[in-house]
Amino acid sequence: MAVNLLDFDLEGLTAFCESLGEKRFRATQLFRWIHQRGAAEFDAMSDLAKSLREKLKTQAEVRGLPVLSQHVSADGTIKWLFDVGDGNAVETVFIPEDDRGTLCVSSQAGCAVGCRFCSTGHQGFSRNLGTGEIVAQLWHAEHFLRKHLGTTERVVTNVVMMGMGEPLQNYAALVPALRVMLDDHAYGLSRRRLTVSTSGVVPFMDRLAQDCPVALAVSLHAPNDALRDSLVPLNRKYPLHELLDACDRYLAHAPRDFITFEYCMLAGVNDQPEHARELIELVRLYRSKASGVWCKFNLIPFNPFPASGLHRSDAATVQAFARLLNEAGLVTTVRKTRGDDIDAACGQLAGDVRDRTRAAERMQQRRTVVLHPVAAAASPTGAPT
């Protein structure tokens, strides 16, 4: 199969161009065509020499992911389901806000961590995505949105690796993908606007700090090891003290001076005042080492799915929990749930191909708009259309 140019960061593309006997700067031109202009056809790349275009046509391609479906929520959130082959699919969600556009990107088909409250975790692990498959989600979303909004300006201003999968269990593919997102010749995101979310794969938190320090979110969900063991099985391998030590170390390299702790609010499980108090104590131990505020809390209302057997904390409980943390000096926000009418909210991403039928039913029930019902047929390569 031809080489997929979405698999390369600029360094990789430069090496590839050199292997074709081309000068290094050709790689930058090519990279800009692909990522800044959304080009998939070499013939469109008018300032590349014809001889290079011909070489590329025989050896390479820009291969996006076929779109299985695209749904638009009543609140403007868009969810794409991409085909990654062998019956697997991954989801990508665009969340527009007044001052930014955030893309939530998947790193794996399924997830091996198996958190109790996560639909992806319940599905089990299928496989890691390649760099090109991670990048293709942004490539498609950015250029699709530009086209539909009739703009040449950047639409995706923030990327969060909070879709399906544990990004730090797919490190080798993740880092070049992050580099493409950061590159000024591609998407030019700042490190502060690119967030990796992890359930706490400690050794790779340390490696990320060295290799590509972007903003870090850590999925905490519990104030003690016994409870966290039962919610996030990875905690048995990397318990809280190791995780928080790793956060401390990460801060020395982070583009922001805080780590975001995500905390999914589960009724009667981790949402009581004593949990808040225990959390405050836990964080205080570490706070003494760092100067000032070193973490922020983001409380996520649990998005239920049938197999979990868990329930969402009610709004008053979430507010009371947030108040306790805030009063103790821990900056705490409550995440707005977006796109839940199309199952695009946190933890609802199952990438299930049955999703297509489910979504169609929902469309009738809730007037979800399908913009591209036949996008897969119209665009087999996933090129933004």
**Residue 205 near ligand SF4 by CB under 6 A:** no
**114 is in the binding site of which of ligand SAH, ligand SF4, none (Cβ under 5 to 8 A by kind)?**
ligand SF4
**Residue 118 near ligand SAH by CB under 6 A:** yes
Q: Which of 64, 223, 347, 384 binds ligand SAH (CB under 6 A)?
A: 347
Q: Which of 130, 165, 213, 351 binds ligand SF4 (CB under 6 A)?
A: 165
91 given a catalytic annotation: yes
Nearer of residues 122 and 146 to ligand SAH, judged by Cβ: 122
Q: Which stretch binds ligand SAH (CB under 6 A): 14-22, 73-81, 245-253, 299-307?
A: 299-307
**CA 69 – CA 359 distance, rounded (Å):** 9
Nearer of residues 62 and 259 to ligand SF4, judged by Cβ: 259
Count the neighbouring beta carbons within 10 Å of the beta carbon of residue 76: 13
Catalytic entry in 17, 22, 91, 247: 91
**Residue 167 near ligand SF4 by CB under 6 A:** no
**CA 141 – CA 248 distance, rounded (Å):** 34
**Residue 128 near ligand SAH by CB under 6 A:** no
* Least distance in angstroms from the C-beta of 192 to ligand SAH: 18
Q: Identify which of 94, 84, 87 has the alpha carbon closest to the alpha carbon of residue 128.
A: 84
Q: Which of 262, 271, 341, 355 binds ligand SAH (CB under 6 A)?
A: 262
Residues 211-230 that bind ligand SAH (CB under 6 A): 219
Catalytic entry in 115, 212, 264, 346: 346
**Residue 302 near ligand SAH by CB under 6 A:** yes
**Residue 300 near ligand SAH by CB under 6 A:** yes
**Residue 162 near ligand SAH by CB under 6 A:** yes
For the chain, the three-class secondary structure string (H helix, E strand, C coil) is CCEEHHHCCHHHHHHHHHHCCCCHHHHHHHHHHHHCCCCCCHHHCCCCCHHHHHHHHHHEECCCCCEEEEEECCCCCEEEEEEEECCEEEEEEEEEECCEEEEECCCEEECCCCCCCCHHHHHCEEEECCHHHHHHHHHHHHHHHHHHHCCCCCCCCEEEECCCCCHHHCHHHHHHHHHHHHCCCCCCCCHHHEEEEECCCHHHHHHHHHHCCCEEEEECCCCCHHHHHHHCHHHHCCCHHHHHHHHHHHHCCCCCCCEEEEEEEECCCCCCHHHHHHHHHHHHHHHCCCCCCCEEEEEEECCCCHHHCCCECCHHHHHHHHHHHHHCCCCEEECCCCCHHHCCCCCCCCCCCCHHHHHHHHHHHHCCEECCCCHHHHCCCCCCC
Total residues at interface with ligand SF4 (CB under 6 A): 11
Q: Which of 166, 271, 341, 355 binds ligand SAH (CB under 6 A)?
A: 166
Nearer of residues 101 and 351 to ligand SF4, judged by Cβ: 351
Q: Which stretch binds ligand SF4 (CB under 6 A): 66-74, 106-114, 180-188, 334-342?
A: 106-114
Nearer of residues 64 and 114 to ligand SF4, judged by Cβ: 114
**170 is in the binding site of which of ligand SF4, ligand SAH, none (Cβ under 5 to 8 A by kind)?**
none
247 given a catalytic annotation: no
**CA 278 – CA 270 distance, rounded (Å):** 11
Give the interface with ligand SAH as residue ranges (CB under 6 A).
117-119, 162, 166, 197-199, 219, 262, 264, 300, 302-303, 346-347
Give the active site residues: 91, 346
Give the interface with ligand SF4 as residue ranges (CB under 6 A).
111, 113-115, 118, 120-121, 165-166, 199, 219
